[in-house]
């Protein structure tokens, strides 16, 4: 198993593990690891109420584009729905099935609902930092991004009683992973869509773990009914992904299925039954490891951390340098790319 590679936000890696994936040795000999991730972003989105120059035009589910210089109350209320109602419904479902998830919490949003933040950790779910704001950090100056990173850690620690050990920006810039590694307190980050198993990258203080996320096995396709129009659409797609990876695990190549959820999307009454049916389907199978990101990270740190002296030979794999980023940096930006998703 390759132990390390370069930071993929700086250098690109098209090889990864190659044709044959390593055995992740999931606990109990599991054939698949399933990790649910709930995005809680309401209150951290773009709005004049947060001092931003524009309203939120992304993943607002009602098709309202970004508006410059004015608030859009209906869009704001959609994000409020996730915190007020959707998240509680999702918590009830995961409680019923006794499955723990990773909560990707935007710190500015959770400040508006401390009781919800506490409920997540009191029920055994993991709090992952999803940044201070729900913005595109590719358009934020490095010093501001560093300040936001520290602020997010402090807020989440205050709200939950412990600092987050996982990080997920969602819209990272080329500085993001380096800043996360330099902060020094994270066991892993999720800012990659490149694989189906965790992998190591070279960091300033030793190897840093990346646990891939997914925008594909994700309820973002409910947004404006752009991919999933019904609960069954969600269930069928996720079931097929699970069945494929489960079969590959039975054949000797277990993998990770990362599923992304949003409180304002899957938390709706007409959509939540797709999640219920999916959990029912998964629970019928033996050899499924339901896990949080922190569980995966601790497993990988314990079982797959190779000696540092192998770094040079591992980095000898062919890499393609990324083009330098010469875009102007915004001091504090809420500008969005319309097609971005988290």
Reading the block at residue 8, the tokens are 């993929």
Topology of 32-339 in CATH?
Answer: TIM Barrel (3.20.20)
**Global confidence as pTM:** 0.86
47-65 pLDDT tens trace: 777 776 675 656 666 666 7
What confidence score (pLDDT) does residue 317 get? 36
- Identify the bridge partners of residue 99 per DSSP, sorted by sequence position: none
Q: How far apart are CA 340 and CA 337, in angstroms?
A: 6
Diameter over CA atoms, the chain? 56
- Per residue in 240-279, pLDDT (tens digit) is 999 999 999 999 999 999 999 999 999 999 999 999 999 9
SS3 at position 261: strand
Residues 6+ apart with CB under 8 A from 255: 21, 24, 32, 33, 196, 197, 245, 248, 249
Q: Which residues of the chain have pLDDT under 50?
A: 3, 307, 309-342
> What's the pLDDT at 248?
98
How far is the C-alpha of 320 from the C-alpha of 102, rounded, in Å?
32
Instruction: Give the domain ranges of the chain.
Output: 32-339
Cα–Cα distances in Å, from 74 out to 67, 78, 112, 187, 259? 12, 6, 18, 38, 28
Where do the H-state alpha helices sit in 251-309? 272-283, 293-303
Whether residue 55 contacts residue 66, with contact meaning beta carbons closer than 8 Å, is answered with yes
The token pair at 234 is: 């969600």
Determine the pLDDT at residue 135. Answer: 84
77 DSSP β-pair partners: none
Burial of 122 (0-12, 13-18, 19+ CB in 10 A): exposed
Buried-state track 85-112, b at ≥16 Cβ within 10 A, e below 16: ebbebbbebbeeeebbbbbbbbbbbbbe
User: What is the pLDDT, as a whole number, of residue 312?
Assistant: 38
The pLDDT of residue 333 is 37
């Amino acid at each position: 198993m390759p132990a390390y590679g370069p930071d993929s936000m700086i250098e690109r890696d098209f090889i990864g593990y190659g044709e044959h994936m390593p055995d992740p040795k999931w606990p109990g000999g599991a054939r698949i690891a399933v990790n649910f991730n709930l995005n809680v972003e309401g209150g951290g989105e773009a709005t004049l109420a947060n001092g931003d120059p524009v309203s939120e035009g992304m993943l607002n589910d009602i098709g309202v584009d970004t508006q410059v210089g004015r608030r859009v109350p209906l869009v704001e209320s959609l994000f409020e729905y996730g915190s007020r109602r959707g998240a509680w419904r999702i918590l009830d479902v995961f409680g019923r099935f006794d499955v723990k998830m990773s909560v990707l919490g935007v710190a500015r949003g959770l400040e508006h609902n401390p009781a919800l933040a506490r409920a997540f950790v009191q029920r055994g779910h993991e709090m992952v930092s999803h940044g201070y704001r729900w913005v595109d950090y590719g358009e934020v100056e490095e010093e501001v991004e560093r300040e936001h990173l520290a602020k997010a850690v402090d807020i989440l620690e205050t709200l939950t009683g412990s600092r987050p050990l996982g990080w997920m920006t969602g819209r990272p810039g080329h500085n993001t992973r380096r800043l996360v590694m330099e902060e020094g307190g994270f066991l892993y980050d999720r800012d990659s869509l490149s694989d189906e198993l965790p992998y190591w990258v070279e960091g300033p203080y030793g190897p840093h773990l990346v646990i891939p996320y997914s925008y594909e096995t994700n309820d973002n396709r409910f947004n404006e009914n752009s991919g999933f129009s019904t609960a069954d659409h969600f269930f069928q797609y996720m079931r097929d992904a699970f069945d494929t990876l489960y079969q590959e695990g039975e054949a000797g190549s277990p993998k990770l299925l990362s599923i992304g959820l949003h409180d304002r999307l899957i938390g709706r009454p007409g959509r939540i039954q797709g999640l219920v049916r999916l959990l029912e389907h998964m629970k019928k199978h033996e050899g499924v490891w339901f896990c949080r990101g922190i569980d995966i990270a601790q497993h990988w740190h314990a079982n797959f951390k190779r000696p540092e002296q192998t770094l040079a030979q591992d980095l000898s794999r062919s890499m393609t340098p990324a083009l330098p980023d010469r875009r102007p940096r915004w001091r504090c930006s809420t500008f969005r790319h319309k097609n971005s998703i988290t």
